[in-house]
Amino acid sequence: MWYPLLRQLLFTLPEEQAHRVALRMISLGASLGLVQRLVARPPTLPVNVMGLDFPNPLGLAAGMDKNAQHIRGLGELGFGFVEVGTVTPRPQPGNPKPRLFRLPEAHALINRMGFNNLGLDYLVRRVETARYPGILGINIGKNKDTPVERALDDYQLGLERVYPLSSYVVVNISSPNTQGLRALQTSEYLRALLEPLKEQQDKLATRHGRYVPLVVKIAPDLSNAEIIEIAECLVACRMDGVAATNTTLTRPGLDNVKRSLETGGLSGLPLKPLALDRQQALVSALRGRLPVIGLGGIMTADDALERMQAGASLLQIYTGFIYEGPALIEQILQRLAHNTHLWR
């Protein structure tokens, strides 16, 4: 009941400032024991995916905590796993501001952040310091000034550095806000990227004595033919999972919505039909050969159940969490717990 008032206050601030304030409040609240008092404990709903034991199938998507500064606070909200990043090898400021826009009337966001982050060295230090005991995903990308032809170098460096600290690693090739990045989803580049990463993963598993799954995150703006091609490539390259989907460049149903013409990736309620449709196409193409993490447009408990029924093994939220707050976590997990026969 308290979050709508807090959201109203946060929404009076510029978007990026509100984001920073909210994260600091979560971390402070966790350190003072307030999170445990204010947030209801969600039901335990264990699932095993990619060889990992998740306490529940609902996670926080990358982008909320780019630099791994708030892992413990976010982890105490009831998520079954937390994903940090996207992190690039070198620090970069991202795109010019303003670059994050609320569309409250549409329950949506548009962002063109551009992988703003403090770099691998900083993130690694933060994760080491946090000693987070839960399932932690780390999302890796390439620097803006790295040519697409040299992208593998950045991803290999990222995988090398975060491997010992991750429960799983996400290869982000689908953000619309780094020029040329989505080209890595095409047949021209995808196999050339993933095969060396798989070889590196095998070597790192031997070196560290533990296997860390590799997940690829794809865009919603793909045709059925492209999804089929990507699915076959992921299987052939022995990836461990796929996340569907990232934000979209389209603007479905937003013709009369203020700020909808801002460039960048759209997330939230308008993304829901497209993300669900693309997930279904991916699940159909994979035929059970890889697990799918469903995300994009999950704003309610019904949305979450629908995505699980459509073949997702895990879920992630981001924009829904911003609009609905921690109560959404409990609502989703309660709905899944009461309807396990529909998705198990």
- What residues act catalytically? 175
Q: Which helix (H) or strand (E) holds 53?
A: strand 52-54
**Which value, in Å, is the radius of gyration of the alpha carbons in the chain?**
19
Give φ, ψ of 266 to 5 degrees.
-95, 135
**CA separation for the pair 82, 62 (Å, rounded):** 8
b (16+ CB within 10 A) / e for 222-258: beeebbbbbbebbeebebbbbbbbbbbeebeebeeee
Strand ranges (DSSP E) for 71-148?
Answer: 81-87, 100-103, 108-111, 135-140
CB 181 within 8 A of CB 145: no
CB 59 within 8 A of CB 137: yes
Picking from 225, 263, 244, 222, the residue whose alpha carbon sits closest to that of residue 315 is 244
Using a 10 angstrom Cβ sphere, with 0-12 exposed, 13-18 middle and 19 or more buried, the burial of residue 297 is buried
Using a 10 angstrom Cβ sphere, with 0-12 exposed, 13-18 middle and 19 or more buried, the burial of residue 316 is buried
Strand partners, 110: 101, 266
Strands 314-317 and 292-294: parallel
